[in-house]
A = this chain, B = another copy of it.
């Protein structure tokens, strides 16, 4: 198993894009479950290093530790990333906590056409469009490893729980049950 970890790490190092569990399993001729176990152990093992492993739905990727961002930015002479606008960050929040989610579902939550915000996020590589697993004719959106890089976190699991963030914001008294029902009806 340790050997699998090493192999995964070396491939992530030379790959020019995030590698999915499927791609890793196929290339390493290993079971997907084993790849997941090994990769998760790798994430743990590297968590305190200067180079860490990011995990998004699209796959795994190596990146510098976010607390070193200032240093690396200066070293690369990289420009500050442009800050997100209100609209794009709203859409991003919905996608991050409800992914995979369709455009229609995003717009139902925001009550407004979100085409341009979604496009802006796609262009920045913070989200990506994939075929809807339940209906191949339509698409759904999810966040990418670029989103993790941008936010300085290692996986969407590193985000605070939705319930934790919004516990102050509930419907008053009786209609509460209704609100919960609404939430559940939209697929997480």
Determine the distance from Cα of A175 to Cα of B8 in the docked complex, in whole angstroms. Answer: 44
If the complex has contacts A79-B15, A88-B181, A123-B182, are A6 and B117 also in contact, measured as CB distance less than 8 A? no
Determine the distance from Cα of A187 to Cα of B76 in the docked complex, in whole angstroms. Answer: 10
Size bracket, chain A contacts: 35 or more
Determine the distance from Cα of A175 to Cα of B111 in the docked complex, in whole angstroms. Answer: 19
A9 contacts B by Cβ under 8 Å? yes
A39 to chain B, nearest CB (A): 12
Contact between B15 and A120 (Cβ–Cβ < 8 Å)?
A: no
- A62 partner residues in chain B, CB cutoff 8 A: 13, 51
- Chain A binding surface SS class: helix
Cross-interface CB contact of A178 among B8, B27, B28, B120, cutoff 8 Å? B120
11 CB-based A-B contacts, threshold 8 Å: A9-B50, A11-B71, A14-B64, A17-B116, A78-B187, A81-B185, A82-B181, A87-B181, A115-B125, A119-B174, A124-B182
Binding site for B on A (CB under 8 A): 5-11, 13-17, 27-28, 48-51, 62, 64-65, 68, 71-72, 75-76, 78-79, 81-82, 84-85, 87-88, 107-108, 111-113, 115-117, 119-125, 128-129, 146, 150, 174-175, 178-183, 185-187
